[in-house]
Amino acid sequence: MEASMFDRYTNPSGKLWALATKEIKNRILVLDGAMGTMLQAYKFTEEDFRGERFKDYPTPLQGNNDLLTLTQPEAIKTIHAKYFEAGADIVETNTFSGTTIAMADYQLEDLVYELNYQSAKIAKEVAAAFTAREPHKPRFVAGAIGPTNRTASMSPDVNDPGYRAVTFNDLRIAYKQQVEALIDGGVDVLLVETVFDTLNAKAALFAIEEVKDERDLEIPIMLSGTITDASGRTLSGQTAEAFLISVSHIPLFSIGFNCALGANLLQPHLEAIAHKTDFAISAHPNAGLPNAFGEYDETPEEMGEQIEEYLKKDLINIIGGCCGTSPEHIRVIADIASKYKPRNC
């Protein structure tokens, strides 16, 4: 990973992110943990999701976590702050479903720009406060870009394998709107995550490149795929190495994997790519596998022991948590990560 690769970032937060590019050569950067897991603990009702602004909205809104940025902003701020306090260097915006495609389920497509912009502003506000308090440890914000709830390379209908519920162009347009809002809100880096279909991810990456060209700016991109099961492949059929090869033409800041698997099951897939790229390697696994009730039982200490194996084998540069993880998990992970040097890249 050459320094020149990072000297060109010219988004409004580019100078700040330049600090991260220096830090990543000297230490492992820590990403936050799950947003959804933390929000579930609040036990928000339908009325809480609606707030005053959407109290008469015609469709049910409970479960739309992105909307809580507008209706319960203090909860979002608190969660970001808890992760920073636990040792995270980077928090993700509350925008995993922040596209018109995903928001169509709630008939909230018109809110997409506002949801992303305000989510970025909230996260940056918290990050700036922590950076001002601890200037030796600057905090950063990653604009979270999820996979949407549709896939461009597979049919949802087994009886019609040629059918597609969404096109590449549909995705490109939706992602472009999200990217523009996240950048306007001040994110330091864009994180295209939980990639189960590489064609979806390529639409997001294409949209990012469009925005970069139109605005004449550079912004770092993190990309994180999802190995869906024991087959060792993404939902669209790629192995970890194939996933890496298929996106290596994009000048990424980092590539890695998140979700679906616990830390121990994710390790062989990190090993498959760690020594085959100059990109930084990231991982934010789940807290184990869900139990029969869909809950995650892996303790921070158990997860920390597994992640320490990544560090002993020189596999990663960025580490965090996904489903089932909490600030307690991140605190343990950050403490362990502080004892190791990052992977050479």
pLDDT in tens, 246-305: 999 999 999 999 998 999 999 999 999 999 999 999 999 999 999 988 899 999 999 999
Q: Say what the pLDDT of residue 43 is.
A: 97
Q: Stretch 105-129: mean pLDDT, rounded?
A: 98
* 33-81 pLDDT, tens digit each: 999 999 999 999 999 999 999 999 999 999 999 999 999 999 999 999 9
Higher pLDDT, 165 or 184: 184
On the question of pLDDT at 6 being above 70, the answer is no
* 126-172 pLDDT, tens digit each: 999 999 999 999 999 999 999 999 998 888 888 898 989 899 999 99
Please classify residue 278 by burial: count the beta carbons closer than 10 Å to its beta carbon, then call 0-12 exposed, 13-18 middle and 19+ buried.
exposed
Fill in the DSSP letter of residue 313.
Answer: T
Distance of CA 98 to the CA centre of its chain: 12
CB 265 within 8 A of CB 288: no
Phi, psi of 260, rounded to the nearest 5 degrees = 65, -50
Q: 344 pLDDT band (50/70/90 cuts)?
A: confident
Higher pLDDT, 228 or 109: 109
Q: Say what the pLDDT of residue 13 is.
A: 60
* Domains of the chain, earliest start first: 3-337 (3.20.20.330)
Structure tokens at 238: 């790629």
Phi, psi of 333, rounded to the nearest 5 degrees = -65, -45
Q: Say what the pLDDT of residue 1 is.
A: 43
On the question of pLDDT at 5 being above 60, the answer is no
Q: Say what the pLDDT of residue 11 is.
A: 57
Report which residue type is found at 202: K
Range in 5-19, 92-106, 145-159, 235-249 the model is least confident about: 5-19
> pTM for the whole thing?
0.93
Q: Say what the pLDDT of residue 174 is.
A: 98
Q: 4 pLDDT band (50/70/90 cuts)?
A: very low
**Residue 299 to residues 36, 219, 259, 306, 329, Cα–Cα distance (Å):** 17, 35, 16, 11, 7
CB 201 within 8 A of CB 192: yes
On the question of pLDDT at 2 being above 50, the answer is no
- What is the rounded distance in angstroms from the CA atom of residue 8 to the CA atom of residue 302? 40
CA end-to-end distance (rounded Å), the chain: 5
CB 302 within 8 A of CB 332: no
Q: 3 pLDDT band (50/70/90 cuts)?
A: very low
Give percent of the chain with pLDDT exceeding 70.
95
